Amino acid sequence: MIVYCDDLVRSVVISTKIINSYEWLYAIARQESAFAHDAYSSAGARGLMQLRSGTARQVAKRIGVPHKKSDLFHAEHNITLGSNYLKQLLDKFEGNRILATAAYNAGPNRVNKWLENQTKTLPHDVWIETLPFHETRSYVQNVLAFSVIYGHRPGIKSPLIAEQVLFIGRKKSG
């Protein structure tokens, strides 16, 4: 088990009702903030899951929870919003954790644009390796790897890649 404050553990347990994979949530939090609840980025992202104000406000409104910017430094609030946003991305990308992870880092519009510009379906590992942003490429690789590690410790069989996600490509119209 990860040694950290009780708030984080409690928040993750609460969040697993939203995100079915707490090890993925841990991996995102690790990559975003190294588990620092008071993390702040130059882009204005705050807290464990490094949410930007606009995203946090939109998610809080959608799920009906009160929110103010300073709440992002409270672990439970940050993970509640972050896990709901991750679920929103997971739904948008039809359960594809690779695409949802890339979108959490680079934004869903960029991921959509990359998919639209893609000329053929690619194996998932090639798709990751061809991401145009080095930061996003490393981010996705690290999140996937640490998801497996965080799942292994408590004995969760967490496949690195879901079987239905062996290839990534744009949807055919019609």
Q: Tens of pLDDT along 75-104?
A: 889 999 999 999 999 999 998 999 999 999
Crossing angle of helices 6-15 and 75-92, rounded to 10°: 30
Say if pTM beats, i.e. exceeds, 0.75. Answer: yes
Does the structure show a pLDDT above 80 at 1? no
Among all chains, which residue has been given the structure tokens 């965080």? 150
Residue 157 has phi, psi (to 5 degrees) of -80, 95
Token code pair at residue 82: 């972050």
Residue 8 is predicted with a pLDDT of 64
How many C-beta atoms lie closer than 10 Å to residue 98's C-beta? 21
User: pLDDT band at 140, cuts 50/70/90?
Assistant: very high
* β-pairing verdict for 167-168 and 122-123: antiparallel
User: Which tokens go with 22?
Assistant: 């707490």
119 burial via Cβ count (<10 Å: 0-12, 13-18, 19+): exposed
Which pLDDT belongs to residue 5?
A: 44
Residue range 122-133: mean pLDDT, rounded: 94
Exactly one of 23, 32, 116, 135 is catalytic; which is it?
A: 32
SS3 162: coil
Question: What's the pLDDT tens digit per position in 38-74?
Answer: 999 998 999 999 999 999 999 999 999 999 999 999 9
- What ranges in the chain are assigned the alpha helix state H? 6-15, 22-33, 53-63, 75-92, 97-106, 108-117, 124-129, 134-152
Q: Tell me, yes or no, if 32 is annotated catalytic.
A: yes
Give residue 170's pLDDT band: very low, low, confident or very high (50, 70, 90): low
Contact 25, 86 (CB under 8 A): yes
pLDDT (0 to 100) of residue 3:
47
pLDDT of residue 174: 38
- Give 64's contacts (C-beta < 8 A, 6+ positions apart): none
